[in-house]
Amino acid sequence: PAKGTLPKGMGQTPPPQQNTSSGSEGKSRKQQLEEYETEYLQRIEQQRIEEEKAYQEIIEAEAKSRSQQTRGSLPKGFEPKPEPEQQKQSRGTLPKGF
């Protein structure tokens, strides 16, 4: 092949157009927005539920580990390690970058 040319099929096709009617022909802008909004709310609710489950699992695991620890007296010169505070999971905010 000649130098500076694209492989077959490359550059020949026009880039896909991104119009508001992409994918959903015949629907009005308002209908598209309403559908998107309902899907968005469902996704947000599902994400919140999953975060809540994960948070509960962390709490349960921490409670189990604390209940299984046996506390005894330490030899002289030893001090118990201060327990690191668990960071509270933020609610209702998106991580950086969103």
Distance CA 62, CA 55 (A): 11
Q: What is the pTM of this model?
A: 0.38
Q: Would you kindly state where each structural domain of the chain is located, as residue ranges? A: 26-66
In the predicted model, is pLDDT for residue 48 greater than 70? yes
User: How far is residue 3 from each of residues 6, 7, 33, 55, measured CA to CA in Å?
Assistant: 9, 11, 47, 58
| Lowest-confidence segment of 19-33, 46-60, 71-85 by average pLDDT | 71-85
Query: pLDDT tier at 55 (50, 70, 90 boundaries)?
Result: very high
- Joined together, the tokens standing for residue 82 give 């201060």
